[in-house]
Structure 1
Amino acid sequence: MWLYLGLFSALFLGFYDISKKHSLKQNAVLPVLLYSSLTATLIFIPVIVLSYTHPNLLAGKGLYIPPITTFSGHWHLFLKSLIVYAAWLLSYTALKHLPISIATPIGASTPLWTLLGAVLIFHEQPNSLQYIGLGLMIASYYFYSIIGSKEGIRFAGDKWVAFIFAATIIGTMSGLYDKYLIQTLKYHPLTVQAWFFVYLVALFAPTLLISNFTGPKIPFKWRWSIPLIGIFLIVADYAYFKALTYQGSLIAMLATLRCSCVVISFLGGILLFKELRPMYKAFALTGVLVGVFLILTSK
């Protein structure tokens, strides 16, 4: 069952990426970030309130959110939102300007940065298959740089590519912090997920307000896909956390399945947004996914 939940999570992560691209096309970034996060927050607020007033009602349905009653608890979750706030500002801005068939495979490079960090910081020794996976991912991204150059995107000097790589590295930090919150500090996954969105709104709202007074006026167009961003992310994360509760579920395999969401994003880029060079990008994407699989599943 946990494998099906992992695939379900990957499917909705792909829909999440496609919704982001549709919402951001020739649109202002900050309102999209605020209103998509607000949608998710409005879904969670009744659950937070009911968990406080009628805990028994939700406990049997798997929707109970344990309350946070200490300042340190709220600080831990605010810090999670602050990390994602920085990552999303970079990644959403980059996705607005880059083809989704190039941006999302770069976003799938989290295992690469995690492995490099483990080697450089903790002096871990990867096995031979992980080294092969690492080399395959690096080679695939080099091939992506060649493809990108044919579309006017030079990886070495393009700031949007730098943005998406920076967002991915910050996102890796967020994933490690999630592990610390849930496994070490014993926060319930739904507590992290719910308050994460609440504090994101608290961060994006003043940012948008300040930007309206100080920054350039970028037109904003409301699109039906904007609320879907928050909804799809809630569904994807809930399925992932639910899969982790099953006895015998493998975190490495679930992480690999989550990364496979780039296949959905890639197909969306080709079929919906009419992006170029699908065969070359499919070849590079295959290399990335095989590399991810080798890094995450090799012991």
Structure 2
Amino acid sequence: MQTGRFDMWILLVLLYGLIKGAREVIKKKALISSTVMEVLIVYTALAFVIILPDSKNAMGINPSFLFWIAIKSFVIFLAWLFGFKAIDKMPISIYGVLDLSRVLFSTLLGLAVLKEVLSVYQIAGLLLVCLGLFMLNRTRKMSSNKAEGVETVYVVLAILSCLLNALSGLMDKILMKSVTSSQLQYWYMLFLLLFYMLYIFIAKAKIRWKSAFKNGWIWLMSFLFIIADRALFIANGMEGSKVTVMTLIKQSGCLVAILAGKFLFKEKNIAYKLLCAAVILTGIMIGVI
């Protein structure tokens, strides 16, 4: 029975990873005709509306947990803001591989906070992940195409997004010991929507609501987001699931982003980026053993 539960959370996290890879592509498409803040506010609002029918299952939560869910929402608020700004300014194939750096952050957080212990295989896998990320740094120096160039500020934003997403993943694991997946998803989406509305008010950001709501990529992204997050929350609540292993599996979607870079956005150096991803994914597979 334990093995079955273990297999199930792995499948759920794998589903999350593949949808996550597809979402990165959809983000890039959505940002072609809408601004970062337009995508974020409409994306969040639509996702919240989608989960409203399940709101009855979100009630009855202990008020003390609402504070920590609000903190998680603020972490995601920043992570998405940084991540969307980065993906808007860099090739999707580079972002897809760079996003794998969250493995390092999640592993360190899992070790430091949850006292998880790495096996020999997981240590070897983590070293391969580091090697693949180091190789990726060469991509920025290899390209003669100006469109492929990436300013350092956007690389920093992408890495900060990875760090904050890793922190959010750790909070998911802790919160799911005391709340249900419905409660966590509903309240964190509500707080997230409030944070973006507050940001728009304070920054006086101009939002073209009509054109943003007509952006079909935002609608698709919202549906996939709800499906992926529910799968991840359920996996976090399963006995035996480990943050360090889950983080490795999540990165399986990077191949989606890299291949989309070639076939949808006609980006360069795809073979080398696939090599970087192959090294990282090999580390992921070894780490899951």
TM-score range, shorter chain: 0.7 to 0.9
Contact 1:36 1:228 in 2 (8 A): no
In structure 1, the partner of 2:98 is 106
Q: Does residue 61 of structure 2 align to residue 68 of structure 1?
A: yes
Map Cα deviations across residues 87-109 of structure 1 (whole Å, 9 max, x no partner).
11111110111111111222222
**Percent sequence identity over aligned pairs:** 24
Q: Match for 2:167 among 167, 173, 184?
A: 173
> Quick one: distance in 2 between partners of 1:253 and 1:139?
18
How far did residue 255 of structure 1 move?
Answer: 4.2
Q: What residue ranges of structure 1 are gaps of 5+ in the alignment?
A: 52-63
Contact 2:43 2:221 in 1 (8 A): yes
Q: What residue ranges of structure 2 are gaps of 5+ in the alignment?
A: 1-6
The alignment partner of 1:108 has SS state of helix
Cα 1:251–1:138, aligned 2, differ >3 Å: closer, same or farther? closer
Q: Does residue 86 of structure 2 align to residue 94 of structure 1?
A: yes
Map Cα deviations across residues 4-34 of structure 1 (whole Å, 9 max, x no partner).
4444333322222211111123642111111
Q: Does residue 62 of structure 2 align to residue 80 of structure 1?
A: no
Q: Does residue 272 of structure 2 align to residue 265 of structure 1?
A: no
> Quick one: distance in 2 between partners of 1:47 and 1:218?
29
> Quick one: distance in 1 between partners of 2:70 and 2:120?
39
How far did residue 205 of structure 1 move?
Answer: 1.1
Cα 1:124–1:35, aligned 2, differ >3 Å: closer, same or farther? closer
Amino acid at match of 2:23: Y
Cα 1:43–1:149, aligned 2, differ >3 Å: closer, same or farther? same
Instruction: Report how many aligned residue pairs link the two structures.
Output: 276
Map Cα deviations across residues 203-232 of structure 1 (whole Å, 9 max, x no partner).
10121233336xxx7988532111222211
How far did residue 234 of structure 1 move?
Answer: 0.7
> Quick one: distance in 1 between partners of 2:17 and 2:109?
25
**Higher mean displacement: 273-282 or 110-119:** 110-119
The alignment partner of 1:260 has SS state of helix
The alignment partner of 1:103 has SS state of helix
Give the structure-1-normalised TM-score. Answer: 0.80
In structure 1, the partner of 2:285 is 293
> Quick one: distance in 1 between partners of 2:204 and 2:68?
30
Q: Match for 1:203 among 175, 178, 195?
A: 195
Q: Match for 1:158 among 152, 176, 186?
A: 152
Give the structure-2-normalised TM-score. Answer: 0.82
How far did residue 201 of structure 1 move?
Answer: 0.9
Q: What root-mean-square deviation, in Å, do the aligned CA atoms of Structure 1 and Structure 2 show?
A: 3.1
Q: Does residue 35 of structure 2 align to residue 28 of structure 1?
A: yes
Contact 2:107 2:247 in 1 (8 A): no
Map Cα deviations across residues 19-71 of structure 1 (whole Å, 9 max, x no partner).
111112364211111100000111122321xx1xxxxxxxxxxxx3343362x
How far did residue 118 of structure 1 move?
Answer: 6.0
Contact 1:31 1:208 in 2 (8 A): no
Contact 1:118 1:124 in 2 (8 A): yes
> Quick one: distance in 1 between partners of 2:154 and 2:256?
22
Q: Does residue 1 of structure 2 align to residue 8 of structure 1?
A: no
Amino acid at match of 1:24: L
The alignment partner of 2:60 has SS state of coil
The alignment partner of 2:204 has SS state of helix
In structure 2, the partner of 1:228 is 220
> Quick one: distance in 2 between partners of 1:12 and 1:167?
18
Contact 2:23 2:224 in 1 (8 A): yes
In structure 2, the partner of 1:280 is 272
Cα 1:68–1:246, aligned 2, differ >3 Å: closer, same or farther? closer
Q: Match for 1:133 among 125, 138, 150?
A: 125
Amino acid at match of 1:281: K
**Higher mean displacement: 36-45 or 123-132:** 123-132
Cα 1:7–1:116, aligned 2, differ >3 Å: closer, same or farther? closer
> Quick one: distance in 2 between partners of 1:79 and 1:167?
15
> Quick one: distance in 1 between partners of 2:284 and 2:202?
40
